[in-house]
Copies of this chain bind each other. A is one copy, B any other.
Amino acid sequence: MNELSEELLHSVIKKRPELSHKGTFGRVVLIGGNERYGGAIIMSAEAAVNSGAGLITVVTAEKNHAPLHARLPEVMVIDWLQIQDIQAVLAEADVILIGPGLGLSEHSHTLLQLVIQEQQAKHWLVIDGSGITLFAKYHYQLAYPQQAVFTPHQMEWQRLSGLTIPNQTVKNNQTAQKTLDSHLVLKSHRTTIYTFNDYFVNPLGNPGMATGGMGDTLAGMITGFLAQFDAKKDALCAAVYLHSLIGDVLGQDHYVVLPTEISKQIPYYMKRFEQ
């Protein structure tokens, strides 16, 4: 076991190379946001943009395009019904996030299937929220499981691993993660990251962060970090740690910490820890 710490931020967040362009910092596709949970994918997108991902396309129900662009013109959008366009954009992606506000409909399922089927050796996947529930329900297998991150809360992890919450001990989680053969971010009041050789406990976070959208923001940050930084396991850990670190700072003078407030702070904190 390791406890995450600030050192990790220093080692992960590299000074950007002078000779670079937006493609250098990753092409990202974010998939989610149905008619009801559109806010979720908006919050993921805000986190990914503020984390520094270079080029971001959001695939979401058409009704979410206007509020997304009203908040964040920095992203591109695709109606989630346009399967061909989605395939084209997936083919060029570095990291794909699926799940925030995705829902459990037939169409949500179609999109998850598409992502799984299109995964290439170069792709990293982040599977969150209802993406995890669907993944569990249909017993999917990934082509490149080691290039995937699952970000369940405890109930979603129960669905995916079969472990009831009281049985989610470190030992059992490690066994289940080995079977899954992917990275695991198990969210709770002390989020734990299970990787192939070790597990990492996040010492930060506070109950003011227990509010709708906090996980969507974390998923967006993880996606942004994976898009930019080569040491993927460390990038993952750094995103989790920084998310809570910002939450703790905001929590000092906010009774509730809004996820969108965390996103606004990301560029400042990343600069502070830039190596």
Residue numbers of A with Cβ under 8 A of B are 13, 16-22, 24-25, 35-40, 42-43, 46, 49-56, 63-79, 85, 153, 188-189, 206-208, 210-214, 252-260, 266-268, 270-271, 274
> Which residues of B lie under 8 Å from residue A70 when comparing CB positions?
66-67, 70-71
Say whether, besides A43-B73, A49-B258, A189-B19, A78 and B36 are in contact (CB < 8 Å). yes
Say whether, besides A63-B65, A69-B67, A258-B50, A75 and B189 are in contact (CB < 8 Å). no
Say whether, besides A38-B69, A66-B70, A75-B212, A189 and B253 are in contact (CB < 8 Å). no
Residue of chain B at shortest CB distance from A258:
B74
CA distance A38 to B158 in the complex (A): 39
Residue of chain B at shortest CB distance from A209:
B22
In the A-B complex, the 9 residue pairs with the smallest Cβ-Cβ separation, listed nearest first, are A39-B73, A255-B270, A16-B207, A67-B69, A52-B256, A70-B70, A254-B267, A42-B73, A67-B70
**Partner pick for A39 among B74, B79, B211, B212, CB 8 A cutoff:** B74
**Partner pick for A211 among B22, B266, B271, CB 8 A cutoff:** B22
CA distance A79 to B208 in the complex (A): 29
Number of copies of this protein chain within its complex: 4
**Partner pick for A212 among B19, B22, B38, B40, CB 8 A cutoff:** B22
List 11 interface pairs A-B (beta carbons < 8 Å), by A numbering: A16-B208, A18-B189, A21-B189, A36-B77, A36-B78, A38-B65, A39-B77, A56-B212, A67-B73, A76-B212, A256-B267
Min Cβ gap A130→B in Å is: 12
Q: A22, B254: Cβ atoms under 8 Å?
A: no
Q: A77, B267: Cβ atoms under 8 Å?
A: no
Of the candidates A52, A55, A71, the one having the most CB atoms from chain B within 10 angstroms of its own CB is A52
CA distance A254 to B16 in the complex (A): 12
> Which residues of B lie under 8 Å from residue A271 when comparing CB positions?
252-255
Min Cβ gap A156→B in Å is: 12
> Which residues of B lie under 8 Å from residue A65 when comparing CB positions?
38, 63, 67
Residue of chain B at shortest CB distance from A16:
B207
Of the candidates A17, A85, A213, the one having the most CB atoms from chain B within 10 angstroms of its own CB is A213
Min Cβ gap A202→B in Å is: 14
CA distance A39 to B55 in the complex (A): 12
CA distance A213 to B263 in the complex (A): 18
Residue of chain B at shortest CB distance from A77:
B36
CA distance A18 to B205 in the complex (A): 9
Q: A43, B74: Cβ atoms under 8 Å?
A: yes
Q: A267, B258: Cβ atoms under 8 Å?
A: yes
Min Cβ gap A13→B in Å is: 7
Min Cβ gap A14→B in Å is: 10
